[in-house]
Amino acid sequence: MWSSQAASRIVNFAANPIAANPMRTGSGTASSRPGKWRVEPVTRLLLALMVWVGGCVGKSVTEPAHAESNGEGHQDGEGGADSPFPIVDLSLSLEGSPYAEAARDWEQEDWGSAVDAFRAVSNDPSVVVTEDQRQSALLLLGLSQLRADQFSDAAATLESFAATPSVLRDYALLSAADAASRVPDVTTMQRCLEGLQDGVLPAYRALLEALLAVEQGDHQGAVPLFDEAMAGSTGRNLRRAMLMRARSLLALEKVEEAAGGFRALVEAFPSTKEGRSARRELDAIPSATKPATTKDPLVEAQALFGRHRSDEAIAKLEGLLKTTKLETSPERWCEANMLMGKSYTKLRKHDKAAVYYDLVVGSCADADLELKALYNGGRAHWNANEPQKAIDQFEALIAAFPEHSYADDAYLYIARIQDEQGKAQDAERTLLTQLRQYPEGDMAKDAHWLLFLRYYRSGDYAAAAQYAESVKDRREDDLYSRGRVDYFHGRALEHLKKPAEAQALFEAVIEAQPLSYYALLSLGRLKVIAPKDAEAFIARLREFPFVERGMMVEVRPVEMATSADFVRGIELLRLGLDDWAEVELEKAVAAAADKETANWTLAAILNAVGSVPRSHRMAAQMATLNPRYFTSADEQAQWALAYPRPFLELVEHAAQKQGLAKEIIYSIMREESGFEPGIESWANARGLMQLMLPTAQSLATQAGVDKPDEAALFVPSTAIPLGSAYLSKLSKTYNQHPAFIIAGYNGGQGNVNRWLQDFGDSSLDLWVEQIPFGQTRDYTKRVLTTYWRYGWIYNEVADMAVFDPSIPAREAAAFVGE
């Protein structure tokens, strides 16, 4: 029986008891917005960011939101005069203060309650607050009033805040101008915009200047400002700019252009307030002065397809194709049929998809459409079990587009089909032709692999080894291939009774492809054939003990710590205005001379305040550009940012309840959702663990949670127990082996059982390579790698995830059949 040794050897690394928020502790409660989580009072209050700025010992490098201090702020840093690091305080400004409840109402987006709570504290003479707290509360009060549609009050409050020196003065003035624009109060708008100094949020400023121009009757001047605003905005500001721009165009009697603007807003944001307004205003344009139709079914179908509503797209296209003919509207006919094929492909109805791709082939003048129809059609016929039709499409693609990158893909697919048909010699000839025609193509690595595999799988290990030795540049350039042929070359040498040569290859893969899938497999074999050497090898790769880093972050390069952008970003973070904060911090990074180091600092800051989805993506991109074993505690901390452990309390509880290692839960969560609680896939899988509602409901009792509805799957305290219950079910089915748990989570237990039945006598390493679903095969490799990396980063026993990949798959899974 395979088992992990992780449970008793976990070291609590990034999960500090004073962690930044529930992304780190799991203690939060849901807000009204999926993915935004309430911060409990104890979580961020004591958190501080340590900043290294050379000789500035014991001094803060930022000023508070309010420039005056009564001596109760962080003057000398919590480390005092002996601390080598000045402190930038990341605690939420109002946590632990009399305004704490009001601040929580703000964070929960309960604007009316926030307004009342802020006012109640400020108007109570018996309540003692610092001047910094009062100013922070004043800014959040004004923003709450703005959100609560109390526009005149909001403008007055925000201008009052801006009257006192503050690094956030321009944010208050912009928000005051926004509030005044909704009254409208032209005088206040103009006064606030003219008072701006720092150039913050240029797209927001452009929007407000455009609205001011509209109020002053200058629609001509407003339109380019709306364009500038649209180019730099998202969300509500983007929708507002689109709507108001269309209205200005209408005022300028540019009716067709205005109608196009209204229509674009309706199509992009149909269910929003602005989208509904645009629909009404579009419908109100007299038919004699606007385009004949306000709806283009092809555009609507494209939008539906983009939102993963393929069934609805098909219904829309079916109606369109009843009236659209190739002879009269060739471009629309071609686009509609191509989109029908893609929609059926997304629904995995490959036989129906192939029909529409075939209609496009040979009928459409657009060469790019022809190319994609041949490519997609070949794959559709292959998936529909029509191998000869698939080969015909791929051969037509090669003949028509021999210089395109799809051509070597086509050769590879033909070879794979021929191999499935038992035509091994034909497949070999096709692969050799592919390598001769496209030696540097992106599919060369797979051609070399299939040629090697032909010998290996047939038991001709000498020929396999000879082929591996003959090809030096195998183009192995991704996670799924780096070290693949060398690893299996080593396995072939094992079969040839050459253990010393095999060991040398395994060691070479481990060193040359750090923390990769094939390094994991190589380490598994090394532990079996040379256990003492493996132990020494691991010790050499990891020369230092695990280091508890907590939440300490040194800001480098040093000049960034004192930049105005950085200072504003930190103050915004302390107020919980994270979106604005990220804009400022990104500006500070952009201005830094050493951008890579600055980006690491930004990732650490975002991680510290709980913006884990963003921080881990940044860190993962940087860490995996140059993967290596850690040579310092700093590098280890960087990898911990790329492989974080948010919601730790929830994960620990679920792991203990379900008998799992935490690493398997985190590996799945990282892959499935990127730690975004509110994410939903095109197939309606939801939440951190990407569960389908029927599956989740069936697991509720085992997970110990109430039977969930759709909304509950976006709540971490529900999603993590449910996902862990499913992992536990797979674990019990497959002998606790991570490879089968991971394959089952993606491909389904029924498919894993079938693959174990069909080719489970293959060794585990070869069984993974034979998984017929490319997505599941790659997923299994990728998540097993993540599982190992979590173990390597956080555990004293660095090889805790290692298993023997030579064991037959059926034996490794303890599978006895269905």
Determine the Cα angle at 182 with ends 179 and 185, to 5°: 80
The number of residues making up the chain comes to 818
Q: Residue 32: count other Cβ atoms within 10 Å of its Cβ.
A: 8
Residue 686, strand partner residues: 680, 691
Q: Give yes or no: residues 305 and 280 share one domain.
A: no
The per-residue pLDDT for 75 is 32
Residue labelled with tokens 């660095």? 798
Do the Cβ atoms of 721 and 705 come closer than 8 Å? Answer: yes
The closest of 4, 2, 1 to 659, measured between CA atoms, is 4
Alpha-carbon span 719 to 32, nearest angstrom: 17
Alpha-carbon span 498 to 476, nearest angstrom: 25
What the block records as the tokens of 792 is 């390597």
Strand, helix or coil at 233?
A: coil
Do the Cβ atoms of 211 and 182 come closer than 8 Å? Answer: no
What are the start-end ranges of the E strands in 202-292?
Answer: none
The per-residue pLDDT for 474 is 87
User: How far from the centroid of its chain's Cα atoms is residue 800's Cα?
Assistant: 27
User: How far from the centroid of its chain's Cα atoms is residue 561's Cα?
Assistant: 28
Q: Which residues span the domain enclosing 83?
A: 48-89+549-613
CA distance to 345, 354, 773, per residue, from 384 (Å): 11, 8, 14
Do the Cβ atoms of 92 and 574 come closer than 8 Å? Answer: yes
CA distance to 71, 343, 357, 588, per residue, from 371 (Å): 71, 18, 10, 45
| Amino acid residing at 444 | A
The per-residue pLDDT for 18 is 24
The per-residue pLDDT for 544 is 56
Alpha-carbon span 606 to 583, nearest angstrom: 12
Alpha-carbon span 197 to 437, nearest angstrom: 61
Do the Cβ atoms of 162 and 173 come closer than 8 Å? Answer: yes
Do the Cβ atoms of 106 and 576 come closer than 8 Å? Answer: yes
The closest of 183, 173, 244, 186 to 215, measured between CA atoms, is 186
| Amino acid residing at 580 | W
Do the Cβ atoms of 640 and 794 come closer than 8 Å? Answer: yes
Q: What is the CATH number of the domain that holds 235?
A: 1.25.40.10
Do the Cβ atoms of 164 and 131 come closer than 8 Å? Answer: no
Helices 406-420 and 424-437 pack at an angle, to 10 degrees, of: 170
What the block records as the tokens of 337 is 């049929």
Do the Cβ atoms of 252 and 271 come closer than 8 Å? Answer: no
Q: Give yes or no: residues 276 and 336 share one domain.
A: no
Q: Give yes or no: residues 173 and 81 share one domain.
A: no
CA distance to 124, 732, 802, per residue, from 659 (Å): 53, 9, 18
Q: Give yes or no: residues 800 and 689 share one domain.
A: yes
Alpha-carbon span 47 to 434, nearest angstrom: 58
Name every residue whose Cβ is closer than 8 Å to that of residue 553 and which is 6 or more positions away in sequence.
Answer: 49, 50, 51, 601, 604, 605, 608
Last residue within a domain, chosen from 273, 294, 315 = 294
Residue 680, strand partner residues: 686
The per-residue pLDDT for 70 is 35
Alpha-carbon span 16 to 609, nearest angstrom: 12
Last residue within a domain, chosen from 358, 378, 398 = 378
What the block records as the tokens of 464 is 């396999």
Q: Give yes or no: residues 654 and 682 share one domain.
A: yes
Q: What is the CATH number of the domain that holds 681?
A: 1.10.530.10
Strands 48-50 and 87-89: antiparallel
Q: Give yes or no: residues 575 and 653 share one domain.
A: no
Assigned domain for 630 exists = no
Assigned domain for 431 exists = no
The per-residue pLDDT for 63 is 41
The per-residue pLDDT for 44 is 36
The per-residue pLDDT for 199 is 87
The per-residue pLDDT for 292 is 53
Q: Residue 349: count other Cβ atoms within 10 Å of its Cβ.
A: 16
The per-residue pLDDT for 614 is 93
Helices 716-733 and 662-673 pack at an angle, to 10 degrees, of: 120
Residue labelled with tokens 């983009």? 306
Assigned domain for 712 exists = yes
Alpha-carbon span 325 to 665, nearest angstrom: 53
Count structural domains, the chain: 4
156 phi, psi to nearest 5 deg: -65, -45
Residue 30, strand partner residues: 37
| Amino acid residing at 319 | G
Determine the Cα angle at 219 with ends 215 and 223, to 5°: 115
The per-residue pLDDT for 251 is 96
The per-residue pLDDT for 818 is 63
Q: What would the pLDDT profile of 498-541 be if each residue is shown by its tens digit?
A: 999 999 999 999 999 999 999 999 999 999 999 999 888 888 88
Assigned domain for 384 exists = no
- In this structure, which long-range contacts are made by residues 235-239, counting pairs with CB atoms below 8 Å and at least 24 apart in sequence? 237/203, 237/204, 237/207, 239/265, 239/269, 239/272, 239/273, 239/274, 239/275
Alpha-carbon span 88 to 94, nearest angstrom: 16
What the block records as the tokens of 370 is 């022809």
Alpha-carbon span 391 to 395, nearest angstrom: 6
Alpha-carbon span 625 to 596, nearest angstrom: 12
Q: What is the CATH number of the domain that holds 364?
A: 1.25.40
Alpha-carbon span 482 to 486, nearest angstrom: 9
The per-residue pLDDT for 15 is 29
Q: Give yes or no: residues 289 and 305 share one domain.
A: no
Alpha-carbon span 10 to 150, nearest angstrom: 51
The per-residue pLDDT for 800 is 62
Q: Give yes or no: residues 77 and 125 share one domain.
A: no
What the block records as the tokens of 534 is 């493996």
Residue 89, strand partner residues: 48
The per-residue pLDDT for 9 is 19
Q: Give yes or no: residues 663 and 801 share one domain.
A: yes
Alpha-carbon span 392 to 197, nearest angstrom: 66
Last residue within a domain, chosen from 378, 394, 418 = 378
Q: Give yes or no: residues 177 and 199 share one domain.
A: yes
The per-residue pLDDT for 43 is 35
Assigned domain for 34 exists = no
The closest of 221, 280, 294, 208 to 251, measured between CA atoms, is 221
What the block records as the tokens of 818 is 């269905």
Q: What would the pLDDT profile of 218-269 be if each residue is shown by its tens digit?
A: 999 999 999 999 999 999 999 999 999 999 999 999 999 999 999 999 988 9
Low-confidence ranges of the chain (pLDDT < 50): 1-86, 549-551
Strand (E) or helix (H) holding 387: helix 387-400
Strand, helix or coil at 580?
A: helix
What the block records as the tokens of 735 is 């002998």
Q: Give yes or no: residues 134 and 224 share one domain.
A: yes
What the block records as the tokens of 393 is 């499409």
Assigned domain for 308 exists = yes
Alpha-carbon span 306 to 303, nearest angstrom: 5
Q: What is the DSSP string of 207-227?
A: HHHHHHHHHTT-HHHHHHHHH
Q: Give yes or no: residues 82 and 132 share one domain.
A: no
The closest of 75, 101, 32, 90 to 576, measured between CA atoms, is 90
Output b/e per residue, 251-273; b: 16+ Cβ within 10 A. eeebbeebbbbbbebbbbbeebe
